[in-house]
Structure 1
Amino acid sequence: MRGLAYQVFYSLPGHTRHRLARLVAPKYLVGAVCIIRDADAEDGPLLLIRQPPNRGWGLPAGLLKKREDPAVGAARELLEESGVRLDPADLTPGVPNAIVHMAGVVDTVWFGSVPASRTTLRVDGGEVLEAAWFPIDDLPPLTVNTALLLGRYGIGPKA
């Protein structure tokens, strides 16, 4: 039966196969998450942000724009949410680089560092309420997703 279904599918015109595939394929939103450390300190503090309505702290992150390079999107989100400017080439992909969440979101994860003492943090007060540096051994209450994601990379309370 399965073989017959494949034969029928591949006998269809290319544009019809493409439309059918798009119709039945799962859809995912793709985002970028930044894990930024203080470049001037060994095991340096971690940059975290607090957004409404969450009471916990999270990482600078957001959805990629259509056809946007993930490193470019990560650098854009970092700047928009914290005021920290990093060249996309200065971001290192996490290993693994993509984390698939059950809710249909795929996050690409990027690591970077900046000198905290010489980096001004700026937030808009709407999308992001606060941005601050926290020592790894003294993190504030984290959002569930942030704690789980950091734990995958051996950072924080879920490491």
Structure 2
Amino acid sequence: MHASPKHSVSVAGITVRGDGRILAIRRADNGAWESPGGVLELHEDPQTGVVREVLEETGIKVNVRQLTGVYKNMNLGVVALVFRCEPTAGAERTSGETTAVEWLTPDEVRERMSEAFALRVLDALDGIGPHVRSHDGVRLITAP
């Protein structure tokens, strides 16, 4: 008998400053630009997980404002809950998981992030979510 496939749940924070710039990281493992986030711990609620991940990866403390999207990586079985956040304290710094932490404009997000990850940011900015989307890790997969 085969084991049932498992899903993993992750969280990400789209942290937006008053000037409209968005907090972004360059991952140490693959060099990709993304919003800070990671796997939700078994004992954590999603909002606590977002606060923890953003702080661990960037040095920035945040308040979680709203769920802006649910995204599934169809290749890996990862379901990401994405929240819009606002910065409250801290200073940008890298971690063992990041090689850069920057505040990007929406245009810079489009240039630096893959479609699947830029879309999370743009969805959080549009104010009409929460969005539900699927992707292959790089590109959006449109529903049949």
TM-score clears 0.5 = yes
Q: TM-score range by the shorter chain?
A: 0.7 to 0.9
Selected match of 2:102 from 112, 132, 137: 132
1:82 aligns with 2:80: no
Paired with 2:16 and 2:9, the residues of 1 have a C-alpha distance of 23
Selected match of 2:22 from 46, 49, 53: 46
- TM-score w.r.t. the length of structure 2 is 0.73
Percent of aligned pairs sharing the same letter: 28
1:34 aligns with 2:5: no
Paired with 2:33 and 2:119, the residues of 1 have a C-alpha distance of 13
**Which residue number in structure 2 is paired with residue 67 of structure 1?**
43
Selected match of 2:34 from 58, 72, 75: 58
Letter in 1 for 2:120: L
2:12·2:80 contact (CA, 8 Å) conserved in 1?
A: yes
Paired with 1:82 and 1:92, the residues of 2 have a C-alpha distance of 18
Question: Who wins on radius of gyration, i.e. which is larger?
Answer: 1
- TM-aligned CA distance change 1:142 to 1:74, over 3 Å: same
Q: Which has the higher strand share?
A: 2
1:100 aligns with 2:100: no
Q: Which has the higher helix share?
A: 1
Root mean square deviation, CA, Å: 2.5
Paired with 1:54 and 1:130, the residues of 2 have a C-alpha distance of 12
- TM-score w.r.t. the length of structure 1 is 0.66
Selected match of 1:141 from 85, 90, 112: 112
